[in-house]
Structure 1
């Protein structure tokens, strides 16, 4: 038995579960510091001067898991992050909306009678035109229209590429990639999404959450804090959304505005009753979010004369707490060494 090989496989597996989900230039620690510098330069230090958002104080005591309560919580996140909510449409039927959009795209392909493409396409409609129309009439028409246009364009591109490919090996590869999309439910693996409805000629933007999200207020806050990062960073064209670290920077934007506890605690979700089964959420991962939370606390301490971890330990999950404390200790040690070298001790 190759013990070294097995150990390396376990390490890779753990990194996939707990580490950042995208490549961060310069490594996670340096990327966090550089990105915090950019956020402070762009938005000022005011977000760091406010206290961190604590789950025990932010989530209302009477939260009942209803859509109404979840929507009020969404608006509360908007208010804290100072993001105008008058043009944001919050909804909690993301799975249905995505299924309706894909079904609408399939019905459009059928209506266009592109026989060569239809013979290739495996995109499946799971809702009838009447069902799609009913969901649109219930207030989701704009979201369905924007997503359906994306699904239609993507399927035309996939099917056309397969149709025009003459090399059997490459054609098989294209078909395998397409089958992964065709066989998966629309939007699977996501619990929230931000949409710029203006691309479809509508007004405002939309934040869609999974139907199961309102039951967990911490998940609502973490998801909405991330999506509001898109509202600011993407909606105001502050960053190129195609950059590899765009989603990770959106996570960090939420940490920068005080929601690091929520993002770090939600980064890895343990499935009840299944110790070995985990669901990963967010793009920084548990390690990256914990490191970002430590950097946030350290930056606050440098700007504001208070303890580095104000009443936070009881709010953090155990794994997050251990990682955050370890990274914070490293930041303090590095700062002390630098201050000694410069002749000015760290306060």
Structure 2
């Protein structure tokens, strides 16, 4: 048995599970520092002057998992991040909306695409119409056009490919899309409705988040990062670290405890199975939380880690403490070197 090979494979698996999900230029630690510098330069230090958001204080004691309670919590996140909520539509039926859009798109496919497309309608026209009438027409309309364009492009590429190996590769990629339920693999999404002629934007959350207010807060804080960074065209959506920067935007505004705790979670009923949420990963989110705490410490004398240890999951707390200790030590060494 190749023990070294097995160890390396395990390390790669752990990195995929707990580390950042996207490439961070310069490495995670340097990227966090550089990106915090950019956020401070763009938004000032005021977000750092506020106290960090703690689950025990932020989530109402009477939260009951209803859509009404979740919407009120989303609006509360907006207020804290100073993001106007009057043009944001909050919805909690993301999977249904995506399934409706996919079904509507499948019925509109051109004949030559239908011959090869594996995209299938999973909702009847009546079901799609009922969901639209329930207040989701704008989201369904915009997503339908996206699904339609993507499927035409995907199927046309397969249809025109003459190389058998390349055609099989394209087909395999397409089948992965066709076989996955609409909206799977995500718990929230931000949608710009203005491209479809509608007013404002939408934040769609999975119905599975409703029972967990911490998940609602973490997902909303991330999507509101899109509202600001993408909605106001502050960054290019195509940049490799765009999603990670959106996570960091939420940490910068005090929601680091939520994002770090939610980065990795166990699947209910499956003790050995974990699923990851967010783009910084548990390690990146913990390091970002440590950098956030240290930046606050630089603004005024206070303990580098405010009153949040009991709010952090054990693995997050250990990682955050370790990274924060490194930041403090590096600063002390730099200070000594400058004074020498």
TM-score by length of 1: 0.97
Could you tell me which runs of 5 or more consecutive residues in structure 1 were left unpaired when the two chains were aligned.
none
Cα shift at 1:307: 1.3
Tell whether 2:63 aligns with 1:63: yes
Which position in structure 2 is the counterpart of 1:126? 122
Deviations 1:63-93 (A, max 9, x none): 1111111100000000000000000000100
The 1-side partners of 2:21 and 2:315 are apart by: 18
Measured in 1, the distance between the counterparts of 2:32 and 2:171 equals: 39
CA distance in 2, matches of 1:241, 1:178: 23
Alignment gaps of 5+ in structure 2: none
**Moved >3 Å (runs of 4+):** none
Structure 1 residue corresponding to 2:259, chosen from 250, 253, 263: 263
- Say whether the 8 Å CA contact 1:143–1:206 is kept in structure 2: yes
Q: Deviations along 1:149-197, whole A, 9 cap, x unmatched?
A: 0000000001110111111111111111100001111121000000000
Pick from 94, 107, 113: which aligns with 1:117? 113
* 2:75 maps to 1:75: yes
Does 1:171 find its partner at 2:167?
yes
| Alpha-carbon distance between aligned partners in 1 of 2:301 and 2:269, rounded to the nearest angstrom | 43
2:200 aligned partner: 204
2:7 alignment counterpart: 7
2:53 paired residue number: 53
Structure 1, residues 2-40: CA drift from partner, whole Å, max 9, x if none? 000000000000001000000000000000000000000
Q: Is the 8 A contact 1:107 1:129 kept in 2?
A: no
Summarize deviations over 1:238-274 as a string: whole Å, max 9, x none: 0001100000000000000000000000000112343
Q: What do residues 102-135 of structure 1 show as CA deviations (whole Å, max 9, x unaligned)?
A: 00001111xxxx3321110000100011111111
1:209-228 residue CA offsets vs partner (Å, 9 max, x unmatched): 00111110000000000000
What is the 5 A alignment of 1:1-347?
Answer: 1-109=1-109, 114-343=110-339
SS in 2 for 1:138: helix
| Partner SS state of residue 272, structure 2 | coil
Q: How many residues align?
A: 340
Answer yes or no: is the 8 Å Cα contact 1:254–1:260 preserved in 2. yes
Give distance in 1, aligned partners of 2:116 and 2:231: 36
